Chains A and B, each alone.
Chain A
Amino acid sequence: MHAPSPPAFPQIWRNPTLKIVVCMKETPSTEVPKSLGADMRLVRNPSDTIINPFDEYTIEEGLRQQEKLGGDVIILTMGPGTTNDPMRRALAMGATSGVLVSDPALAGSDAVATGRVLAAALKKLEADLVLFGQSSADAYGGIVPSITAEFMGMPLLSYATKVEVAGNNVTIEREAEVGYTTATAPLPALVSVAKAINNNPRYPSMKGIMTAKKKPIETWTLADLGLDAAQVGAGAAKERVTGATPVSTQRRREIYNGSAGAAQRIFEFLVENKII
């Protein structure tokens, strides 16, 4: 006979020390027309900065996990930090605290540098469960979660439409062409949350708004993360935007007169355009 195996550690079920970190991006308001500067970077107006709309689902998911499991929800963001509005809003929704990584050397960072920085910050935070949105509403890259996971050497479960933490594991459901697939990884792990999770992000509560200012927001620089300025920013970027063209939305119309052969023509049109 052998001794019963010890409980899996870390014991996550209602764990007061659980750290759920939500990576949030501050993006330009979707109501304001976007424009690019001469450097091909998005012009950002601090007063029109909002929580990346995809990240609202992620914050909601983080708060729901916290309500079930206990622990803290920490908002991690990297940006110029010219305004705290999106961060305060996330705190008003119910998050525990915030960390802003801000350094002049970060300007112009590409997705790889962003992943490097977030990975360093997440390691410093000793996150148990890291949640990302599916992408950002300004760049739509959608690759930062995988790059961050790679730098951390941790599993990433992507495009989750359901997140379930049990014991020391996180399990997700992901929409497939037919039905859904499930995937499981041991904690600590990263999960990117799909918009299709449709979890009805909450409004900030009035109490949340009144107490958001009292919640701590730490600001970390590259030095705090032990990173070298040469590894990040425009200089280290492996990708460069060389040009941008507005999407053309010209309508192409074809009017078919007469009834003879109309059905055949519609059928051919649909086939030609690979609609059927």
Chain B
Amino acid sequence: MDFTLTDEQLSIQQTCRAFAEEAIKPIAREIDEKSEFPLALIKEMGKMGLMGLPIPEQYGGAGADFLSYCLALEEIARGDASVAITMEAHISLGSTPFYLYGTEEQKQKYLVPLAQGEQLWAFGLTEPGAGSDSGGTQTRAERVGDEWVVNGAKMFITNAGTPISGGVTVTAVTGKRPDGRNAITNLIIPTGTPGYVIGPPLKKMGWKASDTRPLNFDDCRVPAENVLGEEGNGFHQFMQILDAGRVAIAALCVGLAQACLDESLHYAKERKQFGKPISSFQAIQFKLADMAMEVELARLMYYKAAWLHMQGQPFGKEAAMAKLFASEASKRAADQAVQIHGGYGFMDDFPVSRYWRNVKVNEIGEGTSEVQRILIAKYLDAR
């Protein structure tokens, strides 16, 4: 067993760490307070090749491996959660489906500008009435002549409404399968298509600088060729997409937890009570030790899931475990970080109050903690 990172992985990690420290952290508070999408920063990340990090060079990406992408996300998340989720949703959910299921023509047309960071792309799965029950999708697409006519609504969609959003891939019911269940198809809907209505940004507890919106489709027509992958195979496709996405979310959570630990350690050494730095008290030391242990554990879990994925081995169980543990560990870390900061931790002048607001959604997005537990139990064949 060898945990040594390659030169490229190390270099990507170091570069992202420096970038997060120098370019992201200094603006994190402001973009959160203003709920402002950091367009200039995302464009800079695009130029650096971060927005197409794991996409092969032939499609405009940097051609890094999956672990490199996760390492980068961890470092970016250490800088800011909103920026990290923008990158994660764009790569894991927006771009990867084109790479995995797109035709060569679709890859050239859609994937290349995404990987080069010129455009962002969204993935529309969740609906107002279909969250964890993704099979219960209500959005329908009907084939009329050479077109698909889409009707329905999507909810909590990341990256659909930024000034550089190229479009959204939506899941829609296109018929019945032989077993009577809905046949779901992924459809490519470019921004600006008549009938595709992008709602106003949603107001959120955290991730305030990321773009989250409701979408509506009202007799929205796209050409028949806008099917992504196999018609009727959409459910299977997004299950695969979500598996890898969970590993990425786990890495993102590790970055958030690490940021909580960084701030807590720094503060505990500076803050004096009873004439001593509070870091000299066991009550605080134990909190720091537990945080460090959980960060390390969560990191090892996403490393292993990423490694399995890169080996072409099944990784669904490990992905669910890593996402579940890392999201809950990051919440515990944020909670303890605020506790260590005391009253100051409750104030917006210290970043941990923002961290505390940002960690919660990781137990919900890309599969709730409950869904992860159901998945793990399924892998155990517990019935």
Are B8 and A204 in contact (CB-based, < 8 A)? no
Whether A210 sits at the interface, judged by CB under 8 Å, is yes
Interface of chain A residues 194 through 220 with chain B (CB within 8 A): 203-210, 212-213
Interface of B is mostly: helix
The contact string, 1 if C-beta is below 8 Å from chain B, for chain A 102-113, is 000000000000
Are A209 and B57 in contact (CB-based, < 8 A)? no
Are B64 and A206 in contact (CB-based, < 8 A)? yes
The contact string, 1 if C-beta is below 8 Å from chain B, for chain A 82-108, is 000000110010000000000000000
**Which residues of chain B are near A205, meaning CB under 8 Å?**
47-49, 62
A145 to B197, CA, bound (A): 62
Whether B50 sits at the interface, judged by CB under 8 Å, is yes
Residue of B nearest to A84 (CB): B7
Interface of chain B residues 37 through 75 with chain A (CB within 8 A): 47-50, 52-53, 57, 62-64, 72
Measured as residues with beta carbon below 8 angstroms from the partner, the interface class of chain A is 10 to 19
**Residue of A203, A204, A206 with most partner-chain B CB within 10 A:** A206
Residue of A nearest to B11 (CB): A209
Are B62 and A89 in contact (CB-based, < 8 A)? no
Residue of A nearest to B18 (CB): A203
Whether B12 sits at the interface, judged by CB under 8 Å, is yes
A158 to B72, CA, bound (A): 39
Report the minimum CB–CB distance from A79 to chain B (whole Å). Answer: 19
**Which residues of chain B are near A207, meaning CB under 8 Å?**
49, 57, 62-63
**Which residues of chain A are near B63, meaning CB under 8 Å?**
207, 210
A89 to B10, CA, bound (A): 11
Whether B19 sits at the interface, judged by CB under 8 Å, is yes
**Residue of B47, B62, B63, B64 with most partner-chain A CB within 10 A:** B62
Whether B15 sits at the interface, judged by CB under 8 Å, is yes
Interface of chain B residues 2 through 26 with chain A (CB within 8 A): 7-8, 11-12, 15, 18-19
Report the minimum CB–CB distance from A124 to chain B (whole Å). Answer: 28
Are B48 and A203 in contact (CB-based, < 8 A)? yes
Given contacts A207-B57, A210-B62, A210-B63, whether A89 and B48 have CB atoms under 8 Å apart is no
Report the minimum CB–CB distance from A253 to chain B (whole Å). Answer: 24
Report the minimum CB–CB distance from A53 to chain B (whole Å). Answer: 13
A206 to B56, CA, bound (A): 12
Are A206 and B49 in contact (CB-based, < 8 A)? yes
A89 to B18, CA, bound (A): 13
Are A88 and B11 in contact (CB-based, < 8 A)? yes
Are B64 and A210 in contact (CB-based, < 8 A)? yes
A206 to B47, CA, bound (A): 9
Residue of A nearest to B57 (CB): A207
Interface of chain A residues 156 through 178 with chain B (CB within 8 A): none
Given contacts A89-B11, A213-B7, whether A206 and B19 have CB atoms under 8 Å apart is no
Given contacts A88-B7, A88-B11, A210-B8, whether A203 and B19 have CB atoms under 8 Å apart is yes
A133 to B359, CA, bound (A): 44
A212 to B57, CA, bound (A): 14
**Residue of B8, B12, B18 with most partner-chain A CB within 10 A:** B8
A206 to B75, CA, bound (A): 14
**Which residues of chain B are near A210, meaning CB under 8 Å?**
8, 57, 62-64
A209 to B63, CA, bound (A): 10
A92 to B12, CA, bound (A): 10
**Which residues of chain B are near A206, meaning CB under 8 Å?**
12, 15, 48-50, 52-53, 62, 64, 72
Residue of A nearest to B48 (CB): A205
**Which residues of chain B are near A89, meaning CB under 8 Å?**
11
**Which residues of chain B are near A88, meaning CB under 8 Å?**
7, 11
Report the minimum CB–CB distance from B113 to chain A (whole Å). Answer: 16
A212 to B50, CA, bound (A): 16
**Which residues of chain A are near B62, meaning CB under 8 Å?**
205-207, 209-210
**Residue of A88, A203, A205 with most partner-chain B CB within 10 A:** A203
Given contacts A203-B15, A204-B15, whether A209 and B8 have CB atoms under 8 Å apart is yes
Report the minimum CB–CB distance from A63 to chain B (whole Å). Answer: 13
Interface of chain A residues 55 through 100 with chain B (CB within 8 A): 88-89, 92
Report the minimum CB–CB distance from A76 to chain B (whole Å). Answer: 21
Are B49 and A213 in contact (CB-based, < 8 A)? no
Report the minimum CB–CB distance from B336 to chain A (whole Å). Answer: 28
A2 to B279, CA, bound (A): 85
A203 to B48, CA, bound (A): 7
Report the minimum CB–CB distance from B164 to chain A (whole Å). Answer: 19
Report the minimum CB–CB distance from B199 to chain A (whole Å). Answer: 33
**Residue of A204, A205, A209 with most partner-chain B CB within 10 A:** A209
A270 to B63, CA, bound (A): 61
Report the minimum CB–CB distance from A211 to chain B (whole Å). Answer: 9
Residue of A nearest to B49 (CB): A206
**Which residues of chain A are near B12, meaning CB under 8 Å?**
206, 209
Residue of B nearest to A89 (CB): B11
**Which residues of chain A are near B49, meaning CB under 8 Å?**
205-208
Are A213 and B8 in contact (CB-based, < 8 A)? yes
**Which residues of chain A are near B19, meaning CB under 8 Å?**
203
A212 to B12, CA, bound (A): 12
Given contacts A206-B48, A206-B50, A213-B8, 7 further A-B contacts (CB under 8 A): A92-B15, A204-B11, A206-B15, A206-B72, A207-B49, A209-B8, A210-B63
Closest 7 CB pairs of A and B: A206-B49, A206-B62, A209-B11, A207-B62, A205-B49, A207-B49, A205-B48
Residues of A within 8 A of B (CB): 88-89, 92, 203-210, 212-213
| Complex A-B: 29 CB contacts under 8 Å | A88-B7, A89-B11, A92-B15, A203-B15, A203-B18, A203-B19, A203-B48, A204-B11, A205-B47, A205-B48, A205-B49, A205-B62, A206-B12, A206-B15, A206-B48, A206-B50, A206-B72, A207-B57, A207-B62, A207-B63, A209-B8, A209-B11, A209-B12, A209-B15, A209-B64, A210-B8, A210-B63, A212-B11, A213-B7
